[in-house]
Amino acid sequence: MTDPAPGARDGDAPDAAERHGAGAAPRPGEEELFAALDRTRADLAAAPRPVAPEGLTASLLAAVAAEAAAGAVDDDPPARRRVAPGSVTPSRRRVGSSRRRRTVAALAVAATAAAVLAVVVLGTGPAGTAPPAPTAAPAPSPTGAPVVLTSGDLPQALRAGLGGRDGTADPAARAACLVAHGLPAGTVPVGSRAVVLDGRPGTLYVVATGRAAVFRLLVVGPGCGPGSPDTLGDVTVGG
């Protein structure tokens, strides 16, 4: 370790550090401080980037593809959505209008053909009774009110699941929930959103399937965890 610069006065070190950062020469007595700061900068420059998880880029590309697909299907003006503070505010995307109309038509045909490939809705109410009205709203999400859906809405819920945040406090719990649905460990949803599906509070996850423009929309209840799927809805859309 290096002794403090013998000639440096107390309180001068941060100022000396600023002069070092500006490329100034050390004053008498500051040589060792400057040398220490040089070593620190060298350590920082030499530190390799943290290793990104395998599949990160693929997952992000899938998220972008989902956004593109959802944006093309949803021809309505985008609803106001929360974006990261300081980032650009939402605006209408200027996608070429004729290209967009063709894409919308093609996706509409594909969505109709592929709609509701698998729908699993688990209800716990007694047979023959109306589903109970929500007696309590889900815990307020930092992102705002949950999206209210019915089973019939689920195939069209792709856009609702993108860009929102379910407020999941524990990524590990989310990961365990997805594993309970047969997904590989480490799966990161393309999107997620707090929802109320058929009157039951839950979380919608949009998961890439590995096939272009095909996504799994999974709605899970609050009890979803290791060995306990608590599935409210499960549908694959797109393609």
Partner 1 sequence: MDDTRSDEALLAAHVAGDPSAFPELVRRYSERLWAFATRILRDSHDASDVVQESLISAYRNASRWRGEATVNTWLHRIVHNSSLDRLRRRRTRTAEPLTDAVDVPLHRDPILDRERVLAVEEALGRLPLAQRAAVVLVDMEGMTVAEAAAVLEIKEGTVKSRAARGRYRLAQLLGHLRPEYDTASDPVGPTARIVGNDPAPGGVQAPGGQVRSPSGGDR
Integer angstrom CA distances of residue 143 from 11, 137, 146, 165: 45, 14, 8, 6
Cβ pair 111, 229 in contact under 8 A: no
Shorter beta-carbon distance to partner 1: residue 1 or 127 = 1
Neighbours of 130 (CB within 10 A): 7
Based on the shown chain and the rule CB under 8 A, indicate whether residue 2 belongs to the binding site for partner 1. yes
Q: Which of residues 11-70 bind partner 1 (CB under 8 A)?
A: 11-14, 17-18, 20-22, 33, 36-37, 39-41, 43-45, 47-53, 56-57, 59-61, 63-65, 67-68
Based on the shown chain and the rule CB under 8 A, indicate whether residue 96 belongs to the binding site for partner 1. yes
Neighbours of 177 (CB within 10 A): 26
Residue type, 144: G
Instruction: Convert residues 73-92 into a mask of x (bound to partner 1 by CB under 8 A) and - (unbound).
Output: -----x----xxxxxxxxxx
Shorter beta-carbon distance to partner 1: residue 71 or 199 = 71
Shorter beta-carbon distance to partner 1: residue 38 or 125 = 38
3-state DSSP assignment of residue 144: strand
Minimum distance, C-beta of residue 112 to partner 1, in the bound complex (Å) = 22
Helix segments in the chain, DSSP class H: 13-21, 31-46, 56-73, 97-114, 171-180
**Distance, CA of 148 to CA of 202 (rounded, Å):** 10
Residues of this chain that bind partner 1 (CB under 8 A) = 1-4, 10-14, 17-18, 20-22, 33, 36-37, 39-41, 43-45, 47-53, 56-57, 59-61, 63-65, 67-68, 71, 78, 83-96, 99-100, 142, 162-163, 165, 167, 169, 171-172, 188, 190-191
